[in-house]
Amino acid sequence: MDILGCVAALAAMALAYLSARNQRLLTRALGRPARFAAGALAVLALALWIAGETSLPGVFATLTALMLGAVALPYLTWFLRPATERKPR
């Protein structure tokens, strides 16, 4: 359950990042359906972490996995597409 919770949390943050207007990976943001899917995956991650652990450690593990994704994805984007490769809008 812990691995599935991590995957769900990272997928949630990836969708949240790609649906933001200031993301730099895609030419256009994914939009509102991706934001809804990100929220649903975050709730799923919470449920999976609580099922794998007890309630309070599951909540903190979910928050930690979500924060990891929120910090790592912009850096991953920066590594894949440096600022010199991007075209100005």
In a domain, 87, yes or no: no
Residue 75 within any structural domain of the chain? yes
Residue 89 lies in a domain: no
Q: Would you say residue 85 lies in a domain?
A: no
Question: Is 20 contained in some domain?
Answer: yes
Cβ count within 10 A of residue 70: 16
Range of the domain at 17: 2-80
Which residue matches tokens 């996995």?
A: 65
CB-based contacts of 83-87 (< 8 A; 24+ apart in sequence): 86/24
pTM score of the predicted model: 0.82
- The number of folded domains in the chain is 1
What are the 10-residue block averages of pLDDT along the chain, 89 residues in total? 89 93 84 93 94 89 91 87 61
